[in-house]
Amino acid sequence: MKKETARQKKIAELMHLFLYTNRLHRSRMEDKIASLGIHGSQHHTLAIIAANKSLCQRDIAQQLDISSAAVAVTLTKLENAGLITKTQSFDDARMNHVTITDKGSALLKASRRLLDELDEDFFNGITDEEIEAMSATLKKVSENAAPKKAD
């Protein structure tokens, strides 16, 4: 078996730390969102609807990369909570247009505040220069990780 180099060991440790931090962030984010009475996937769906003003279920499923059936369950929960409305399309009776309500918009605004606070907590004590350096490094890692386009 090939001996691990110092660089490989540092990269492995860094990846472990990165993935661990990502799990911590996701867990804390879920807790913050849950304090508002919704699940993270519901929040994400609501954010997509708000960003697009009015979407049909199929479009939401495509943006989330999940099945229309899974979206239907989430939309029903959001509608029952008064966060969205579904209206039947004039052109196609099989299609509903989904829009966010004022209550849904208020919830998104509250969640944005909570998530901004969470992000600030994660970067507490880290300078703007360190954030810039980390951002530049993660951009390079993301570019390296992205699928290569065939020419």
Report the C-alpha gap between 11 and 5 in whole angstroms.
10
- Cβ proximity of 55 and 98 under 8 Å: yes
**What pLDDT sits at residue 1?**
57
State mean pLDDT over 110-127.
Answer: 96
Backbone angles phi, psi at 125, to 5 degrees: 80, 5
**What pLDDT sits at residue 151?**
61
- Pick from 81, 9, 90, 88: which is nearest to 45 by CA? 81
Q: What is the pLDDT of residues 50-108, one digit of tens each?
A: 998 778 888 999 999 999 899 999 999 999 999 999 987 777 666 788 999 999 999 99
Residue 142's CB is within 10 A of a number of other CB atoms, namely 9
Which of the four pLDDT bands, split at 50, 70 and 90, describes residue 129? very high
**What pLDDT sits at residue 102?**
97
Beta strands in the chain (DSSP E): 55-56, 84-88, 96-100
- Cβ proximity of 97 and 60 under 8 Å: no
Q: Which residue has the tokens 């304090």?
A: 35
The domain made up of 30-114 has a fold known as: Arc Repressor Mutant, subunit A (1.10.10)
**What pLDDT sits at residue 54?**
75
Predicted TM-score of the model (pTM): 0.79
**What pLDDT sits at residue 74?**
94
b/e per residue, 30-39, with b = 16+ CB within 10 A? Answer: eebbeeeebe
